[in-house]
Amino acid sequence: MEAAAPLASHLRLAVLRLSRRLRQQAVGDITASQLSALVSVAKHGELSLGTLAAIERIAPPSMTRIAARLEAQGLVLRRSDDADRRVARVAISDSGLAVLDEISNRRDAYLAVRLQELSEDERDLLSKAVPLLERLAAESAGVEVEPARS
């Protein structure tokens, strides 16, 4: 574990910087939390706000506020559940899909320009690293890791 600590620190900082640059490629006034919720609705289809809150790992009242803002922007459609009128459900709108598509295109274009600045060997190396990064990003088996002690 100690041998991996320096790499973990450098990788974390590099991923955070890249993530920040990609977030800056968003469009409009959509926040990171709103974008995350919108992506979840696009991925999973129509959801109750409770289920969406659980997916996003936030409190239901916070999700209610996020959904209200997304609805006000026309990015989601909100309706009452047919079986239980107290339950609100959201589905992505055509405008929401268009926003996700635009953000994705902008982020891909940003990365494509940056990748062109690298040599072919460097791009090949990154291409080989992508599956490893995907494995690192995958959810662990629910194991909490204790921070390293100094």
pLDDT tops 70 at residue 5: yes
Query: Which tens digit of pLDDT belongs to each residue from 91-130?
Result: 999 999 999 999 999 999 999 999 999 999 999 999 999 9
Q: Is residue 143 part of a domain?
A: no
Placement of tokens 């959904």 in the chain: 67
Q: 45: domain range? A: 25-137
Q: pLDDT-based confidence at 149, cuts 50/70/90? A: very low
* Helix/strand/coil for 24: coil
Count up the domains in the chain and report the number: 1
CATH code of the domain in which 40 resides = 1.10.10.10
- Is the distance from CB of 28 to CB of 99 less than 8 angstroms? yes
More confident residue, 68 or 148: 68
pLDDT tops 90 at residue 77: yes
Q: pLDDT-based confidence at 144, cuts 50/70/90? A: low
Sign of the alpha-carbon dihedral angle for 51, 55, 58, 62: negative
- Look over the chain and give the mean of its residue pLDDT values, rounded to a whole number: 91
**What gap in Å lies between CA 28 and CA 7, rounded to an integer?**
36
**What gap in Å lies between CA 106 and CA 83, rounded to an integer?**
40
Q: Is residue 149 part of a domain?
A: no
Q: Is residue 4 part of a domain?
A: no
Q: Is residue 9 part of a domain?
A: no
Q: Is residue 82 part of a domain?
A: yes
Q: Is residue 8 part of a domain?
A: no
